[in-house]
A and B are shown apart, each in its own frame.
Chain A
Amino acid sequence: MIDYLIGPFQYSFMLRALIVSALVGFLLPVVGAYIITRGRAFMTDALAHSIVAPVAVASLLGFTSYITAVPGGIAIAMLMGFLSRQTGISDDTSIGVVFAGMFALGLIILSISVDVNPGRAVNIEDLLLGQVLGVTQTDVLVSLVLTVAVAAGVFLFHRHLVYTTFDPVGARVSGVKTSLVEYLLLALLAVVIVIGLSAAGIVLVMAMLVIPSATAYLLARRFTGVILLGAFIGVVSAVAGLYLSFYANWPSGPAMALVASLIFGVATMHKRAFPVKADE
């Protein structure tokens, strides 16, 4: 049993994958707690798909994807926020429009990059489903730096994020710069999605952001409990998914999302059996 648990980490690629999985498992539900309590899960999915466009640009130009994905993701998140604030179109429609347009653009640029950079272009399947076993040392370092940056942002603005999530009008009137806080959250969301892509892939990064937080929401009584329990469930799901990916040769994204979904199912049954939330 111990060999099963420790054995994989004699390979350096597995150590790298473990670090990135743990970071993804921890960080996505932390930001996810704010997202699910705002009812913005669709935004996460849309943003993840839209980030294909800047990733594809990096692939076309032969750069590492972070160079374009981080600023590109933030720019797309801002565009979604701007459109839903400034046009008469409903939130989900404007997000859907940007999602579809950017995803389509990304896929076309990717197909061009395959012709331009044969053998070096991003593999679409890895991008969609995640391939944490293939992360490089650069991926690990960038993920670490971005994780520290996001954690610092969340720590500093936690109170403002909470206030604007609970009562946006009251917060604004009391002096909180709610637009700034909203855009900050979108920027944090864009960054954690970029970090999550290598492990969970575009299709399932939303799962790792939403499911552990939703599970924690069922069980925890207060918001800090949702964040902490969500992060714990996220790390457990990500690391368990990593083992499944290694031993069963499954793509890492679906493996992690499956574990998170199973934990959610157990939590739902627990909630039905014991409907009152436990005191922290």
Chain B
Amino acid sequence: MNSEPAITVTDVTVERDGFRALFNVNFHIGPGNLVGVVGPNGAGKSTLFDAIVGALPLSRGTVELHGIDGRPGGLAYVPQRDNINLRFPATVHDVVMMGRYCHVGLFRGVSRKDKEIVRACLERVGLWERRKALIEENSGGQRQRVFIARALAQEASIVLLDEAFSGVDVGAQEGIIQVLQSLRDEGKVVMLATHDLTNLAERFDQIICINRHICAYGPPAEAFTPEVLEELYGSHGMVLAHTHAGGETHIETHMVHD
């Protein structure tokens, strides 16, 4: 059995209410990859994540998650803001401790080791000082880091983040990306769905461009071509500029408003 985390999606089609939300989706993500999933609203980014975590039945195809077999908490999911009950009276510490619940049996309380792990995870994302703040008292960026800390506490080797940059300012986005890159460096698989096309090349190792099917998949500089942008965003018109400076590829994207 391969102990390295990886995701293999083969020929996946998902139908919702008779509508093909995703079709013919194929890709493989190996260990140690930070993958951005980009596409317009309604492109099926959340549906893809739901299919990967088994929350939706597949009409066709298979999803295989490697390296987490039989291990509790191997897969972690950071949902969109709207799917969290933010009125729930929980502190930052409480939320990260939830990541330990899958390791704690019904008849055992939270141990000193669990508390130490939670502390280490909060320190790693720079939020130990805010451990007593209610989750609703945190900014969008801080909240995302709380959920990443929860995934760390869960000891997940595959982490999915749905619209992780929604309501998060650019500076805070960089902080999130740095933590995710450190997870990637440990060999974990991290997938992040986003609308935000800022600095894709610097942020991600691979990009999945999705519009109900995979329009392109690969390193950002190769995947994000004018043709792919046209397929993703159509006639709304994306102006794409590739500039090559010092051997590095920079991608700039501009939305042309009507």
Contacts and interface: CB of A to CB of B under 8 A. Distances in A.
Interface in B86-123: 87-91, 94-95, 98-99, 101-102, 104, 106-107
Interface string A265-280: 0000000000001010
A159 B104 contact: yes
The 3 closest A-B pairs by CB, nearest first: A173-B77, A175-B102, A166-B88
A220 B53 CA distance: 35
Given A157-B106, A159-B101, A162-B98, A174 B75 contact: yes
Nearest to A157: B106
Contact of B102 (A38, A174, A220): A174
A33 B120 CA distance: 31
Given A166-B90, A174-B75, A176-B102, 9 more contacts: A168-B83, A170-B84, A172-B53, A173-B75, A173-B77, A174-B76, A174-B98, A222-B89, A226-B89
Interface string A139-166: 0000000000000000011011011011
Contacts of B160: 173
B158 to A, nearest CB: 10
Of B79, B89, B90, B107, the most chain A CB neighbours within 10 A belong to B89
Given A170-B77, A170-B78, A37 B87 contact: yes
A225 B89 CA distance: 9
B150 interface: yes
Interface of B: 53, 55, 72-73, 75-79, 83-85, 87-91, 94-95, 98-99, 101-102, 104, 106-107, 132, 134, 147, 150, 154, 156, 160
Contacts of A37: 85, 87-89
9 contacts: A38-B85, A159-B98, A163-B98, A169-B79, A170-B84, A175-B102, A221-B89, A223-B90, A279-B132
State which size class the interface on A falls in. Answer: 20 to 34
B151 to A, nearest CB: 9
Interface string A31-62: 00000011000000000000000000000000
A3 interface: no
B109 to A, nearest CB: 9
A14 to B, nearest CB: 37
A226 B89 CA distance: 8
Residue among B90, B99, B150 with most chain A CB within 10 A: B90
Nearest to B52: A173
Interface string A239-280: 000000000000000000000000000000000000001010
Contacts of B95: 166
B89 A173 contact: no
Contacts of A156: 106-107
Interface string A208-250: 0000000001001111011000000000000000000000000
A172 B55 contact: yes
A188 to B, nearest CB: 15
Contacts of B102: 174-176
Given A159-B104, A174-B76, A167 B91 contact: no
Contact of B53 (A167, A173, A217): A173
B106 A174 contact: no
A157 to B, nearest CB: 7
Given A169-B55, A222-B94, A174 B89 contact: no
